[in-house]
A and B are shown apart, each in its own frame.
Chain A
Amino acid sequence: MAEMDFVWPWQYQFPPFFTIQPNSDTRAKQLEAWKTLLLDFHKFNKIYLLDVTEAQASPLFSNKSIDRKLNLEAISLILDELQKQGNVEWLDKQKQRCYVYWRTLEEW
């Protein structure tokens, strides 16, 4: 599987990465890392459609080796941030499915 060759960032093995940090500076860095990871992951695996409920189970948001999972709230937070910078477009009003552009539309 292509996933196997994907190089995970160091944060992926760091348990606090899977808890949204209350400290604003720390959280900014954390979200930055998540955004990069999400885009890289989709680019590497050439996936462009993301379903929030399904994504929860994917290795992107759940690291079995350290037994940590990112919760739904946090996933939505990251997706919202990505939408603001034009990398994500929602397909429905409930924000369940979205397109992930690893390059923004302008760049394409």
Chain B
Amino acid sequence: KGKQYRAGIVGIERQIRDRNEATGETISEAFEDLKNLMKMAKEMVNLSKSVSQKLREKQSDITEDETIQFKSYLLSLGINDPVTKSEYGSGSTFHFELARQLSETLFKPLKEAGGILSLTEVYCRVNRARGVELISPEDLLNACLMLDKLTGPVKLYKFDSGVMVLRLKSYDAVREACKVKEILQEKGSLTADELSVITKATLVIAKERLLFLEKEGIACRDDSIEGLRFYPNRFLTEAA
């Protein structure tokens, strides 16, 4: 700027060329910075690898403070390497603390939802409540995996279909199944969304409950263009 350009087409062309050069410079500068940053990170990665090599030499018995600290270093770097690190320190202190916080804050919502919430719902609730400093799906999962080690009232449970839920310790799957069985007998047949309306549970959980009944041989399915309906299992209860 401040440079005088001649009037006319040549002037305009020069002006455009100069501007392009300037933006090109800023871009390459930014990449240069990034490159430096990555180089530093790379060193850290190399260092952490050699540390984990050393850790392997020592056998792991109890969760040592060293490995815990190491784990949190790794986390702040954004490399997560649970395959080699799982033997040396069961997780990270951050996740452990997060798990503690989750089990406290989720107690009430879980109670209101009948003792069970799917993990995606939990994720929505937690992050909406937080507003800033959100947690990543991975953090949530890792924290939930540690819930078992806490003596808190909340537990992680995985269905056969792979759907993961948080349940209260007091949650009784068998009693829930009996309830659903009664509803099923009363209505004659049910789809997952009918059940979810009746029990005020989410669709995912309603479906899991019906599938559980099917697995136990209490219900059987009718799959047609009208949808997937579940009936009381008369095949097993009635003789031919």
User: Within 8 Å CB of A26, what residues of B?
Assistant: 214, 217, 220, 233, 235-236
Closest chain A residue to B220, Cβ basis? A16
Which bucket holds chain B's interface residue count? 10 to 19
Partner-binding segment picked from B79-87, B199-207, B221-229: B221-229
User: Within 8 Å CB of B58, what residues of A?
Assistant: none
Would you call B214 and A22 a contact (CB within 8 A)? Answer: yes
Closest chain A residue to B211, Cβ basis? A22
Q: Does A85 contact B (CB under 8 A)?
A: no
Task: Please tell me which one of the listed residues A18, A22, A29 contacts residue B235 in the complex, with CB atoms under 8 A apart.
Answer: A29
What total count of A-B pairs have CB within 8 Å?
Answer: 55
Would you call A14 and B231 a contact (CB within 8 A)? Answer: yes
Q: A15-B222, A15-B224 are in contact. Are A23 and B217 (CB under 8 A)?
A: yes
Q: A9-B240, A16-B220, A29-B236 are in contact. Are A23 and B231 (CB under 8 A)?
A: no
Closest chain A residue to B215, Cβ basis? A23
Task: Give the secondary structure class of B's interface.
Answer: mixed
Q: Does B56 contact A (CB under 8 A)?
A: no
Q: List 23 A-B contacts (CB under 8 A).
A: A9-B240, A11-B234, A11-B235, A11-B240, A14-B231, A15-B229, A15-B231, A16-B231, A16-B234, A19-B222, A19-B223, A19-B224, A21-B235, A22-B214, A23-B214, A23-B220, A25-B217, A25-B236, A26-B220, A26-B236, A30-B220, A33-B235, A36-B240
Q: Does B112 contact A (CB under 8 A)?
A: no
User: Within 8 Å CB of B189, what residues of A?
Assistant: 15
User: Within 8 Å CB of A23, what residues of B?
Assistant: 214-215, 217, 220, 233
Nearest 8 CB-CB pairings of A with B: A15-B222, A29-B235, A19-B223, A16-B220, A16-B222, A16-B231, A26-B235, A26-B220
